[in-house]
Amino acid sequence: MDKISFGFRGEEIAAEFLAKQGYLILERNWRAGKVGEIDLVAQKDNTLIFVEVKTRKSAAYGQPVEAVTPAKLAHLEKAAWAYKKQHPNSPKKMLIEVVSILENDGKREIKKYQIY
């Protein structure tokens, strides 16, 4: 499976995982112009949640969540504010989360991290 297909599959897995936890998936791969992309935009209760999905086949280079650098978080935050500007009637409370998916030897480990 190529890298793009693997990443897309990870986003599908993350969307299903979050939906089972009561999240409503509003957008997938939402683009904020030159600022960047948000993998998943979701809502739970009265909170707008911006989700970065990281999927890896191995933890040899660390856990998937470790690939979310401070620079990536800064881009996510800018993209989140761009989304909010385009959707002014969306909930005021916002969160950024990371869904980390590790698939190794047929086993799947999914973890969710609330960043802020």
Q: Which residues contact 64 (CB under 8 A, 6 or more apart)?
A: 54, 55, 56, 100, 101, 102
Q: pLDDT 10s digit of each residue in the chain, 116 long?
A: 788 788 889 999 999 999 999 999 999 999 988 888 999 999 999 999 999 999 999 888 899 999 999 999 999 999 999 999 999 999 999 999 999 999 888 899 999 999 98
What was the pLDDT predicted at 61?
A: 87
Q: What is the domain-level CATH number for residue 86?
A: 3.40.1350.10
Domain of 109, in residue numbers: 3-114
What pTM does this model have?
A: 0.94
User: So what's the pLDDT on residue 68?
Assistant: 96
CA distance 92 to 113: 20
Sort strands 93-104 and 47-56 into parallel, antiparallel or unpaired.
parallel
Domains identified in the chain, total number: 1
Give dist(CA 36, CA 47) in Å, integer: 21
